Amino acid sequence: MLLALLFGAAATAAVARPIDALTLTPGPFIGNYGLERPLVTGAGAQRWGSIYGDYVAYEDWAGGDADIKLYNAKTNAIYNVAIQPGSSQYSPRVYGNRIVWTDSRNGHWDIYWYDIAKKQQHRLTTSTGDELWPEIDGDRVVWQDSRNGNWDIYMYDFKTKKTMRITTHVAAQESPTISGNRIAWTDYRNGNWDIYWYDIAKKQEYQLSSDLAHEVDVALSGTKAAWTLWNGANDDVRVMAYFDANGGFILPGAGAGNQNRVQFYKDTMVYNDNSSGSVRTSLFRFGPGNGVLTQSAGNHYEPQMWSDTIVWTDDRNGNEDIYAMTIPQPTLSVSAPSTVGYGNLTKVTGYLKNWDGTPLSNRLIYVQYVAHGDLYTIKSFIWDVADANLSMAGTQIARTNSLGKYTAYVPAQLKRFYVRAWFMGDPDVFMRVSSQRTVLPKVSLTKPVGKSTVANTKSYTFYGYLKPYHTPGTTRVWLKCYRKVGGKYVLKKTYATTLSDYAGYTKYSAKIKLGTEGKWRVRAYYKQTFNNAKTYSSYKYVTSN
């Protein structure tokens, strides 16, 4: 079933306000972070905002039942997405060019979706059961589904155009979420609510939590999970920094009031917090700069975050509106050479600037480095922001000058390594982690050793030494032979060498036959590998008679 719904004229029942970061310039900051401001207000309730880039999808109750509308920050306009009189459309989630939601137009709950680019609405589920609480990440949508007589978790993949049943246990599995190849949900199979998760690539289910208390409302981001832990008195948000059921921690401030409904954006979490008596939106990041974001009257709840902007439902005006805040983020750059000589220091530089471009001087910058193979080396290196104080990584500390520039020197490394910069944040500036840079050290390759004068009809052994250690028998070094022709040396021959053990490092050797009489020079060449950059030795000059 396909319904075309054109963006046509913008809806007029609600008032939209821009969320451009430039609106932060005037007025005081709230809580040292940013400005609270109304995003969508009007008759009836506007709630359950979901943000992706310039889009905010939300429920609109102006017509007496729930409809789905879309705010576009680029055009500063609101558009109708799903309006079906006599039925309700709930809990929208937006990702990329797609919006998904729960819809009652067919007499029970289905999942629908909307293509923002094509301005078309589609029905996603067609079973006779109920489907609720969709979540979307990339090309995949998950939801809870009652078609089998109990609540199960299902997934739809837009790429394969296939629906997949994720859980089969007879107990209830509810409130799923998805991040990359992981799906997590709340599960009652053990007589209380626990957190389970599913690896899409491995097609394997795992139990993530096993506390005697109830654990609900799970959120995912890469290798991190968080959920609400209900201990019988109040709710706390529990964070698992890694997918390890034995690890994790309770967020600071737990025990005072309730903290729940956590949501992730990469390494930042936002959640409800009523420790002050009213519900506020709080923020936690793996590092300094955490706390209550919203300070105004009323209740502020159901926060969602994308990049540096947070949206939430707000009742300060007597009904529910969508409010927003853009966190003024500093920028932290990092620069390092792609290759470095064997045994040399690596110079790392960069700039720390405030959200408005002004330099941040006299701030400590932690330049971290780690060799490939020491951490998270399953196929590729993943440096988790949760490891801001990595004990297995090296750290060099620098301080920014009046221009916001820092300079640090990383000690000599023997193989591929990664560098990034980390600013811990302070009461005035939010924490920031730079992107990472990959550096390949060159090897130590000595000049070939051999006779300086050779007979052009005979073969001679030339050899040298290679550091760091390489496995014997592999071909990593070649001898390149250049003959002087018309005043210039021209490459004429190349020989593969054999590697062998020598006093803790590696010896290379090959038999070469120059042939033609004249002046020659020979050097060793190391071809670039995953761990080391290409390297040339100096020349050995040879006369062939």
8-state DSSP, 10 = P
Residue whose structure tokens are 């920094």: 241
**What is the pLDDT, as a whole number, of residue 74?**
84
Least confident of 10-24, 214-228, 504-518: 10-24
Domains belonging to the chain, first-starting first, are 2-326 (2.120.10.30), 331-441 (2.60.40.1930), 444-544 (2.60.40.3930)
Give pTM, 2 decimals: 0.69
pLDDT at residue 35 above 90? no
The tens digit of pLDDT for each residue in 81-90 reads 999 989 999 9
Query: Is the pLDDT assigned to residue 472 strictly greater than 60?
Result: yes
Tokens of 276: 């002050």
Look over the chain and give the mean of its residue pLDDT values, rounded to a whole number: 84
* DSSP at 359: B
The pLDDT value given to residue 452: 97
Contact 103, 95 (CB under 8 A): no
> Tens digits of per-residue pLDDT, 258-302?
778 888 887 778 888 877 777 777 766 655 455 667 777 788 889
Is pLDDT above 90 for 456?
Answer: yes
C-alpha dist (Å) from residue 90 to 93, 94, 116, 350: 10, 13, 18, 46
**Chain segment 352-383, per-residue pLDDT in tens:** 998 889 999 999 999 989 887 644 332 233 34
Q: Three-state DSSP class for 230?
A: strand
The pLDDT, as a whole number, for residue 12 is 39
The string of DSSP codes covering 41-104 is EESS-EEEEEEETTEEEEEE-TTSS-EEEEEETTTTEEEEEE--TTS-EEEEEEETTEEEEEE-
The residue behind tokens 């811990």 is 424
Q: Which among 416, 505, 508 has a CA at the least distance from the CA of 462?
A: 508
Rounded to a whole number of angstroms, the CA Rg of the chain reads 31
